[in-house]
Amino acid sequence: MDGNVYKNKIYKKSENIIARTIENELILVPVSADIADLDASLFSLNQTGIEIWNRLDGKRVLNEIVQEFDENFDAHKDVIMKDVCGIIQELLKHGIIEKVE
């Protein structure tokens, strides 16, 4: 699996993830062999992570998502790019998202 992040690529949520909002955090539960293992591998996203997660619709390239953040949030574009790429890399590493080929 390619762990690099490409700004001109599209990323989408893995089909093997169940997401649920609990106490203002998004809990991500990976499912393997038809079992959701709440004991071994749970992840949570904070508010910023959730904003990025909601935009991973499998249609927008990463650059578009960064552009959207730049227009809607008060932060330097470099910081936004770094945060977005960082979260994408983490999500890729844990198999929570996939690159659309």
Partner 1 sequence: MVLLKRLSNLDSNLQISNLNLKDLITAVFKNDKKVRFKTYGHSMSPFIKDGDIVTLKPYSAHSLIKPGDIAAVNRGNKKIIVHRITRIDGEKILLKGDNCIEFDGHFIKENIMGIITNIERNGKKLRSSRVTNLIIACLSGSGLLTSHILPFLRHMKSKKEAFARHV
Region from 3-11, 13-21, 60-68 binding partner 1, contact rule CB under 8 A: 13-21
Nearest Cα to Cα of residue 15 among 58, 45, 72: 58
- Which listed residue (1, 40, 72, 101) binds partner 1 by CB under 8 A? 40
Least distance (Å) between residue 1 CB and partner 1: 17
Judge contact between 31 and 16, C-beta under 8 A.
Answer: yes
- Which listed residue (23, 71, 78, 101) binds partner 1 by CB under 8 A? 23
- What is the layout of strands, in order, in the sheet containing 10-13? 57-61, 10-13, 97-100
Cα-based distances in Å from 99 to 50, 88, 95: 18, 10, 10
Helix, strand, or coil (residue 5):
coil
- Which listed residue (13, 29, 55, 99) binds partner 1 by CB under 8 A? 29
Let me know how long the chain is: 101
Task: Establish if 54 lies at the interface with partner 1 (CB under 8 A).
Answer: no
Cβ distance to partner 1 smaller for residue 10 or 97: 97
Site residues, partner 1 (CB under 8 A) = 18-20, 22-23, 25, 27, 29, 31, 34-46, 48-49, 52, 83, 86-87, 90-91, 94
